Structure 1
Amino acid sequence: MQIGMDVSFSQRQQLILTPQMEQALHILQMGAEELNQCIEEEVLSNPMLEYGKKRGEVRAYQSYVNALADEKSSGPGLKEYLKMQLITKGLSPREQGIADFFIECMEESGYLKIDVGEISQRIGISKEEGEKTLGFLQGFDPPGVFARDLRECLLLQLTGKDENTKKARLLAEGHLMDIAKNKLPKICRETGFSLEEAAEGIAYIKKLEPVPGRGYGYGRERNLFLYPDVTVKKQGENYRIFLNKEKIPSLELSRENLPLLTQFQGKEESGYLKEQYNRAKMFLKNVGKREETLFAVTEALVERQEEFFEKGRGYLRPMNLMDIAQGLNMHESTVSRAVKDKYLECRWGVFEMKYFFSYKGPEGAFCNVKGRIQEIIDGEDKKKPLSDAGIAKILSEQGDCISRRTVAKYREQLQIPNTQMRKSFL
């Protein structure tokens, strides 16, 4: 066997992203919240950057947004609110201690999930005294608090003597599962109510609060303020685009540290300062480029979807990322990054910018299937609502061939109930 050495040459093309390009792409796909955090980190780490004059205005605006909460959410938590009521009841120290323990055992939702017997055993009282304490606490505000299940929660709120309350109470006592499944005929057979009476009772129940702790801190993390990145308004015959910069602080080169570039020229510190100066200029350029790209993409989107902005959701045109990219002479991935985590506000509401882009169908046609499903359901006969298979058949006749399971998945994503739940008996 011979062993030898050989030298050969080959050519290949490879795209290498420079640090500036990587940063530009990263900043482009940031939402307003993430960009705000990125700017704050950059200012802290780079002595050649500082906030512009609008920094105070941005802080004031953020404080205002953070304060947007309902009256209950900005007040005491549910347990604190119950203890405030407890103080006014004139209880003995022993009775107040027992009631305090029950309040601590209650969940943030307002429900009591621990067995009364177990609580009574923990604090050394009889189960009868525990039940008496529970009944006392169930009379506190908000109505429904200390319920052990949904049925009890609703019944605690149905204490009136009028006919509507009596009907609703009867329905809540024994027909909650049938109400959940919209089985009005069965409810009418078992209660003797007419369809109108049953519907009135159910409507009354639906006005009750199933989660007594809502608004007292429970679920507060879900009450997020949705901040639009872009606003589209009609002025005269044309639509104007406004980039919402109130939440994003303005930046500029540090006027205090710029003179240090010449002061330390030729010294060891000079290299570090020049590096930070170049980095600051690159960051400012990329933030500005993000604004330019977002504006251009939005402008092209509004131009293609003008009928939507004029008439509403039912007039959304089929459109994909490539349609925008070709019109702007951009790469499709650039458009995708530009709309990622961005929100657009118009007269019809606030929309994620991805909402305006459709998906590719099996034959290459682009169609907004979810929008079509919503439109079909909105126009159906509510006494004979369409099944998922029926919706799939209508879509197929219109050229959008998708399966029944896909229709069901999209319907659930749109938070539209199933056929039985959509059925109206009146």
Structure 2
Amino acid sequence: MALELRLQLKLAQKLVMTPQLRQAIKLLQLNRLELSDALQAEIEQNPALEEDLSTPETIENPLSLSSTVEQTGEEGRELDVTEKVEISDKMGEVNWEDYANNFDSNFSFAHETPPADTPSQFEFISEKPGLMSYLQWQLAHCELDEKEMEIALFIIGNLNRYGFLEVDLDQIQAETGCDRDDAEYVLEVIQDLDPPGIAARDVSESLYLQLERMGKENSLAAEIVKNHLPLLVTRNFKAIARATGKKKPEISRAIDFITSELSPFPGLPYTNENTNYIVPDVYVRKIDGEYVIRLNDDDLPRLKLSSHYQELLENCKDLEKKSKNYISDKLKNADWFIKSLHQRQRTIYKVVESLLKFQRDFFEHGPHYLRPLILKDVADDIEMHESTISRVTSNKYVHTPQGIYELKYFFSTAIPRTGGDALAAESIKARIKKMIREEDKAKPLSDNAIAKKLAEQNIKIARRTVAKYRDQLKILPVKHRRHAK
């Protein structure tokens, strides 16, 4: 078969995503915090897009966020109107001489008392001190020689986030080249540091070290944590009474002291993990008997097209073609960005409005009245594709009279109900959570007992389903929830 070159025409249909369409989809997926960062980044990258610092009249528009709102003027042309955003500097005048390298909040070089809103010197620390830094600071005050300090640093470097030592004495000897006596001595020095119970090998040793620090090493509580911790975990009070020869009231008092005064994970309060805060994307409030939806636009910049670049494009006839094309492209991108932002807010508003219609009983009475709902129901209601609804509801939160919930929370599978309407799985989880919260702590409900109680409400689910929902709610099994009378 001979090889040859040939020209061939072929017609085909395919979907091509333009950069503008990708940008619109990306904006739709962003939550409130991510949107704020995206707006600032776009303002920095596109010179034709700028923040409008003027103070126009506030427009009553439930769909407005911080992007341009299109309205029709008297002559039929579209006007750019944006909501008013109040800009205020809440930080008072700062006396920088007050922030010397000291950690006494009452100390000041100034004669006057610093204002109440003056930032703390701790806000200027570049890295939050963690457990290892705290222990190193204490070791600096211990009388250890160079070799012992090396052993100590190796030990605290092998503590996990809970404050437990993850290496044994043999590994300490092998890695630092010390003898066993030195390893044991340095470990005891570290275990005498704050917080109590640090550098223990397990929970039992950590609790015992804390009791020893309190002078209760010979108490019943010390005997329980040292020799009978598995029985304490399973709340087997009868077995503890038989093993210790003590009566139930004494056992109960000892266990109450252990659970209230001791910490099983002494290093956890010193972890430097960042806290992820939730900022609602939408507010749903009940005002005069009617629910009002408001998109969260607090502190978001109002955007507009740069008037300077528009004047350049219209008035400067002697601009080079390359410059003219550059300005034109930037203005088009800025205009598309504003329209995409406006489209995002309208879509979110419509989705929340639809959720309010389907789940009105939830907004009125709470999670027990959550109805089964799928993405297709909302998509058909607002005439959009299911993938759009999925993007809108992902990683976004709504503030309701019942609390703050992720938009995905309102979508739940249907659980059949005998002689009644089907219930949402989240509604059944709320019922299980309420049952466990109100149960007798001395005789907690088993999964089978919960299934029977639900059956009395015409909700027939298997015991293993109850166990699955309980695990998803992060509720312990019955043996770990039992308390002595």
Measured against the shorter chain, the TM-score band is 0.7 to 0.9
Match of 2:236 in 1: 183
Q: Does 1:367 align with 2:423?
A: yes
| Consecutive unaligned residues in structure 2, runs of 5 or more | 1-10, 54-84, 92-116
Match of 2:281 in 1: 229
Contact 2:150 2:176 in 1 (8 A): no
CA distance in structure 2 between the partners assigned to 1:407 and 1:183 by the alignment = 24
Report how far residue 173 of structure 1 moved: 0.8
Mapping 1:34-183, distance limit 5 Å: 34-53=34-53, 75-93=128-146, 95-159=148-212, 160-161=214-215, 166-183=219-236
Match of 1:336 in 2: 390
Match of 2:6 in 1: none
- Which AA in structure 2 matches 1:198? I
Q: Does 1:246 align with 2:298?
A: yes
CA distance in structure 2 between the partners assigned to 1:305 and 1:248 by the alignment = 29
Contact 1:32 1:247 in 2 (8 A): no
Contact 1:75 1:216 in 2 (8 A): no
Given candidates 397, 405, 421, the residue that maps to 1:351 is: 405
Contact 2:282 2:293 in 1 (8 A): yes
- Which AA in structure 2 matches 1:301? L
Match of 2:328 in 1: 274
- Which AA in structure 2 matches 1:370? E
Match of 1:286 in 2: 340
- Which AA in structure 1 matches 2:270? Y
CA distance in structure 1 between the partners assigned to 2:348 and 2:429 by the alignment = 30
Q: Does 1:211 align with 2:260?
A: no
Match of 1:407 in 2: 466
Contact 1:230 1:344 in 2 (8 A): yes
Match of 1:24 in 2: 24
Report how far residue 135 of structure 1 moved: 0.9
CA distance in structure 1 between the partners assigned to 2:433 and 2:181 by the alignment = 53
RMSD (CA atoms): 3.9
CA distance in structure 2 between the partners assigned to 1:281 and 1:242 by the alignment = 24
Contact 2:412 2:426 in 1 (8 A): no
Report how far residue 92 of structure 1 moved: 4.6
TM (norm. structure 1) is 0.79
Q: Residue deviations 1:89-118, cap 9 Å, x none?
A: 344555445434433344443222222233
How many residues get paired? 406
> As a proportion of its length, which structure holds more helix?
1
Which secondary structure state, in structure 1, belongs to the residue aligned with residue 356 of structure 2?
A: helix
CA distance in structure 1 between the partners assigned to 2:351 and 2:136 by the alignment = 54
CA distance in structure 1 between the partners assigned to 2:264 and 2:303 by the alignment = 48
CA distance in structure 1 between the partners assigned to 2:405 and 2:35 by the alignment = 19
Contact 1:232 1:239 in 2 (8 A): yes
Mean CA deviation greater in 298-307 or 287-296: 298-307
Contact 1:377 1:386 in 2 (8 A): no
CA distance in structure 2 between the partners assigned to 1:384 and 1:286 by the alignment = 57
Contact 2:32 2:296 in 1 (8 A): no
TM (norm. structure 2) is 0.70
Mapping 1:367-386, distance limit 5 Å: 367-376=423-432, 378-379=434-435, 381-382=439-440, 384-386=443-445
CA distance in structure 2 between the partners assigned to 1:34 and 1:178 by the alignment = 48
Contact 2:416 2:422 in 1 (8 A): no
Contact 2:429 2:473 in 1 (8 A): no
CA distance in structure 2 between the partners assigned to 1:35 and 1:276 by the alignment = 20
| Consecutive unaligned residues in structure 1, runs of 5 or more | 1-10
Which secondary structure state, in structure 2, belongs to the residue aligned with residue 242 of structure 1?
A: strand
Q: Residue deviations 1:155-183, cap 9 Å, x none?
A: 111133469x9232222112222222232
Kindly tell me: are residues 357 and 121 of structure 1, through their superposed partners in 2, closer, same or farther at Cα, counting changes over 3 Å?
closer
Mean CA deviation greater in 331-340 or 138-147: 331-340
Contact 1:55 1:249 in 2 (8 A): no
Which secondary structure state, in structure 2, belongs to the residue aligned with residue 232 of structure 1?
A: strand
Kindly tell me: are residues 196 and 14 of structure 1, through their superposed partners in 2, closer, same or farther at Cα, counting changes over 3 Å?
farther
- Which AA in structure 2 matches 1:114? V
Contact 1:181 1:421 in 2 (8 A): yes
Match of 2:64 in 1: none
Q: Residue deviations 1:65-101, cap 9 Å, x none?
A: xx9x99x997522222122222233445554454344
Which secondary structure state, in structure 2, belongs to the residue aligned with residue 158 of structure 1?
A: helix
Mean CA deviation greater in 232-241 or 414-423: 232-241
Matched residues, percent identical?
A: 36
Contact 1:369 1:400 in 2 (8 A): no
Kindly tell me: are residues 104 and 369 of structure 1, through their superposed partners in 2, closer, same or farther at Cα, counting changes over 3 Å?
closer
CA distance in structure 1 between the partners assigned to 2:358 and 2:131 by the alignment = 50
Kindly tell me: are residues 323 and 191 of structure 1, through their superposed partners in 2, closer, same or farther at Cα, counting changes over 3 Å?
same
- Which AA in structure 2 matches 1:85? Q
